[in-house]
Structure 1
């Protein structure tokens, strides 16, 4: 079984979330940078991710796509990093809850906000997130009781939820609430987050220099 951890990515994509998670995990990995027009659409990569998108990882013969799934997988594959509560830990429930709240309602909400899509009041029950203000209120509540989503314990859920919040505030698809800004400031100061940003920013700079 091949234990090599391969990370398929582009530095101008959601792969930045996974890069941060990989740096938190602290295990060796090989990054394969792909471009949107060509290498993401080759038969070789489409065999890994038929969507032709990044990020994706391969590890021990397993392919994992989707940022939240990759974060959850890595946390469980490398438990020594302490990025997920154990299965019998009561915090496992909240960990799953907020990880996948961000993958579902938050992702849908910020996408609609970016596209200028307003959900009609009589259709809110059909939409997973209902209204944007409900998403904001739920996140505010989640972050009101401690430094992290699990109180004083940092986890993979913070990598994913924090990344969503950081990007959304930057692009104006979620408001800059004080509790969100404090949370993102705390997360973005983590050594692994800084390393990940430097790695991806260096790739972007190299791309620009080559054009």
Structure 2
């Protein structure tokens, strides 16, 4: 199975985003300058360059060929699996699977399964910490509604207050494969995946470490 593709430019540095080319180039240039003028500063500038590059990681992810599997949207830790009513797109009782993305986690969000983008909305907001119960409805956030073979599902991506770097990387009407890149949220965030309650058999629990496009969140109930 080939890796899901997007219309974005290919990165010059394997495993890193396109934006990392400039960041790494500047960092290495400063490191070289420090070696010539102040050698003691070179390790510090090199470490900062490595840290900056880590924020722009773009590892290759190829989901297994499992049509009935719903894969993780983002890298991070599962915070909870709750039953809620979703009123924005699904309009049904749902399971909400919440993933917390750490500041140094890979910032790329991916489609959990095949589907078509039928709803898209991005909103500005407050700078509330993610532990605030109102952060999911008040911070900068992106909603992506998917029509799938198994029914509608909604992805809500919430920016953390530190960076507020949340970018949509898909479009209304786009057809997605599992693992297709759909957004990026740097410096931490939260992802809520809403799936109809009678569609999903969860395979994760709070505290589990997951990887976008690799980890199995649940199995579709026939």
TM range (shorter): under 0.3
Q: More helix by proportion, 1 or 2?
A: 1
Q: Give TM-score scaled by structure 2 length.
A: 0.21
Q: More strand by proportion, 1 or 2?
A: 2
Larger Rg: 2
Q: Give TM-score scaled by structure 1 length.
A: 0.22
